[in-house]
Each structure stands twice: as C-alpha cells, then as structure tokens.
C-alpha cells in the first residue's frame, strides 16, 4: 500500500498488540536515543506536523510515535507519482503470499554504522 509517497506493508485488522509493543519500546528505550539536533527538528517541522506531532517530536525525538504511530514495513524510498503504479505492480507480483494471521513474535534492535547502513545488534523474542 502507499504510505505517503513510498510503498510499505501495513497490517489489516486489530493492531492493539503491535501498538502496545511500540509504546513500550518508545518509553523503555528512550534513554538510549540521541536528542534530535536543530537541523533534524527543522527538517521534521518543514513537513507540516500537527501540534501533537510536534509535541511528540520534542518529547520523544520523533513525531510519529504513540497514538501517531502506524506500523509498517517500508519497501521503497520516496517515489515520484508517475512511477508508483509500476512499482506497486512489480512488488505485488513478486511478494510471496503472507500468512493470515501474520504473527509478529520478534523485534530486532538495530544500530546505524558509520557508513549510514543499519546492522542487527540483537533479536528479541516477544512473549506474553
């Protein structure tokens, strides 16, 4: 599905459990994040944040957390309008059928390397 100007996998059906995990991660891991610098704050604000998103940005360092969070798995970067349809077709034609229900039973902690790429630090199994 389109999420703004990129393509992402998004869940359908109830997402309360995912939301609870996301809330807990933001709250419990907040001490490990770097504060956004003035450039990052200005860049985020330029996109037209709501008052609530701006407050979340200042409190948590990112505007799309807590009730503004929408679980997704990003598949592309920003796409120009004229290529989106072709990309959607290509992705839909190449994705395997996903199980229903789709169970999220692990989360991964990743870190950004000096070269800007992410690497897996640890994978955690969710229980409960």
Number of domains, the chain: 1
Indicate if the pLDDT at residue 41 is higher than 80. Answer: yes
First to last CA, the chain: 30
| C-alpha–C-alpha distance, residues 105 and 127, integer Å | 7
Q: Categorize the per-residue pLDDT at 128 as very low, low, confident or very high, splitting at 50, 70 and 90.
A: low
Rounded average pLDDT over 71-94:
93
Rounded average pLDDT over 46-65:
96
Radius of gyration (Cα) for the chain, nearest Å? 17
Residue pLDDT, tens place only, 95-121: 998 888 888 899 998 988 999 899 999
Rounded average pLDDT over 18-32:
92
Looking at the domain assignment, is residue 87 inside a domain? Answer: yes
Quote the mean pLDDT of the chain. Answer: 92
Q: At which residue do the structure tokens 């948590």 appear?
A: 60
**Can you give the residue range of the structural domain that contains 50?**
2-96
DSSP 8-state code for residue 50:
-
Looking at the domain assignment, is residue 127 inside a domain? Answer: no
Using DSSP bridges, classify how beta strands 73-74 and 106-112 pair: parallel, antiparallel or unpaired: unpaired
Looking at the domain assignment, is residue 125 inside a domain? Answer: no
Query: In Å, what is the CA distance from 77 to each residue of 6, 40, 65?
Result: 6, 18, 20
Looking at the domain assignment, is residue 51 inside a domain? Answer: yes
Helix (H, G, I), strand (E, B) or coil at 104: coil
Helix count (H) and strand count (E) of the chain? 4, 5
Residue-level pLDDT at 127? 83
Looking at the domain assignment, is residue 122 inside a domain? Answer: no
Looking at the domain assignment, is residue 104 inside a domain? Answer: no
Looking at the domain assignment, is residue 55 inside a domain? Answer: yes
């Amino acid at each position: 599905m389109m999420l703004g100007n990129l393509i992402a996998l998004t869940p359908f059906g109830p997402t309360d459990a995912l939301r609870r995990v996301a809330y807990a991660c933001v709250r419990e891991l907040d001490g490990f994040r770097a504060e956004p610098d003035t450039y990052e704050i200005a860049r985020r604000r330029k996109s037209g944040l709501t008052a609530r998103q701006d407050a979340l940005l200042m409190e948590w360092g990112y505007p799309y957390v807590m009730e503004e969070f929408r679980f997704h798995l990003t598949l592309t970067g920003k796409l120009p309008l004229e290529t989106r349809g072709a990309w959607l077709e290509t992705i839909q034609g190449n994705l395997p059928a996903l199980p229903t229900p789709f169970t999220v039973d692990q989360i991964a902690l990743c870190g950004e390397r000096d070269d800007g790429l992410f690497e897996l630090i640890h994978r955690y199994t969710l229980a409960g």
